[in-house]
């Protein structure tokens, strides 16, 4: 089985991605570490516990991690994900925070990876604060991973969060910088523009959520807020995601579950702008190798949409 460790800021698309991994028969999830991002750290932890409960997988250990970026600035993604991160449709029977593990997410990450050196794929679908802290505590960590899959950054300087920055990277640019500069395992990146260009038709969403299952009912509940937001944005000038369904985090997760889904990558050094007044948080692709970086990232450029749809469908079965 593929061994995955998930680092999430559980909003709606993280939930969709986690459900996809839970449904994959070839995958074992060793743990889920939580990070601030789409909502507060506390909500993120609650949301992960709730997703696991809906999927009857509460045995998977969940760890609480960084509550703010390395430099401490607060972020949130309420406009898309709702204030609580899951569409503001609370479940009174959702599990409480007492179900979290006591160990800190970063300690857990180091322990789990050190216990299975070379075997674990780490999937990061939130700001990279936990990963950056982990590599600072143990600089050899990246060599001990099999690979790293990240949803974040951009390839055409089209931001979603800021003018040029994608949400996960601009939420903690220093963390993204550390991870991209110090992680030396094969690193796959699903950028904002790539995910938008790989969108699925809305007819797929109707079919997806019409499945007769507890998971599909849950999805309808948590997803309606995001659907309203997306349709309200559909006439915004310059938006590239409004023509179809884009669950950003699911692309990185799908690649981790089945790397044969990746049809094309751009191999290059990447970094993150930390200073620019307009460009802070923007990922740059060093196409002419000016930075001479040893570790070249694998920036995803095309995926097999049919295989992707199958993984999405399975998530709600």
Give residues in contact with ligand BDR (CB under 6 A).
Answer: 11, 13-14, 38, 77, 80, 125, 151, 160, 166-168, 192, 248-249
Distance linking the first and last C-alpha atoms of the chain: 21
> Beta strand pairing status for 187-190 and 147-151?
parallel
C-alpha–C-alpha distance, residues 222 and 174, integer Å: 31
What are the tokens at 166? 């994608």
Q: Which residue is nearest to ligand BDR (CB)?
A: 167
* CA pair distance 235, 243, nearest whole angstrom: 10
Cα(104)–Cα(19) distance, rounded to whole angstroms?
A: 23
The least CB distance from residue 77 to ligand BDR, in Å, is 4
Nearer Cβ to ligand BDR (29/249)? 249
Of 37 and 269, CB closest to ligand BDR: 37
| CB nearer ligand BDR, residue 110 or residue 300 | 300
Residues 64, 83, 70, 265: what is their CA dihedral angle, to the nearest 10 degrees? 90
CA distance 216 to 219: 5
Q: For ligand BDR, which is the closer residue by CB, 150 or 265? A: 150
For residues 110 and 251, which CB has a smaller minimum distance to ligand BDR in the complex?
251
Determine the Cα–Cα distance for residues 285 and 259; give it in Å rounded to an integer: 22
> Do 135 and 182 touch, CB atoms closer than 8 A?
yes
Residue 248, SS3?
Answer: helix
Task: Please name which of 192, 188, 166 lies closest in space to residue 273, comparing C-alpha atoms.
Answer: 166
φ, ψ for residue 303, nearest 5 deg: -130, 165
Q: Which helix (H) or strand (E) holds 105?
A: helix 105-115
Residues with a catalytic annotation lie at: 9
As measured in angstroms, the least distance from the Cβ of 13 to ligand BDR is 5
């Amino acid at each position: 089985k593929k061994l995955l460790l998930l680092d999430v800021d559980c909003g709606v698309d993280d939930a969709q991605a986690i459900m996809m991994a839970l449904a994959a028969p070839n995958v074992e999830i060793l743990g889920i570490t939580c990070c601030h991002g789409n909502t507060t750290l506390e909500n993120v932890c609650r949301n992960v516990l709730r997703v696991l409960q809906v999927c009857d997988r509460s045995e998977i250990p969940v760890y609480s991690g960084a509550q703010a970026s390395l430099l401490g600035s607060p972020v949130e993604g309420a406009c898309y994900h709702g204030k609580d991160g899951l569409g503001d449709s609370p479940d009174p029977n959702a599990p409480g925070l007492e179900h979290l593990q006591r160990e800190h997410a970063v300690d857990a990450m180091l322990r789990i990876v050190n216990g299975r050196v070379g075997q674990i794929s780490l999937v990061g679908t939130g700001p990279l604060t936990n990963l950056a802290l982990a590599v600072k505590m143990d600089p050899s960590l990246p060599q001990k991973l099999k690979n790293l899959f990240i949803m974040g950054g951009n390839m055409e300087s089209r931001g979603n969060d800021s003018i040029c920055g994608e949400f996960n990277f601009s939420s903690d640019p220093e963390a993204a910088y550390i991870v991209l500069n110090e992680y030396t395992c094969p690193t796959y990146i699903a950028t904002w523009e790539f995910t938008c260009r790989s969108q699925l038709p809305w007819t797929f969403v109707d079919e997806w959520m019409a499945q007769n299952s507890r998971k599909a009912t849950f999805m309808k509940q948590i997803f309606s807020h995001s659907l309203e937001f997306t349709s309200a944005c559909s006439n915004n000038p310059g938006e590239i995601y409004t023509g179809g369904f884009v669950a950003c985090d699911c692309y990185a997760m799908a690649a981790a579950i089945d790397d044969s889904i990746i049809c094309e990558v751009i191999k290059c050094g990447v970094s993150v702008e930390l200073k620019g007044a307009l460009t802070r948080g923007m990922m740059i692709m060093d196409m002419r190798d000016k930075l001479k970086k040893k570790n070249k990232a694998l920036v995803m450029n095309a995926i097999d949409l049919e295989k992707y749809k199958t993984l999405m469908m399975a998530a709600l079965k």
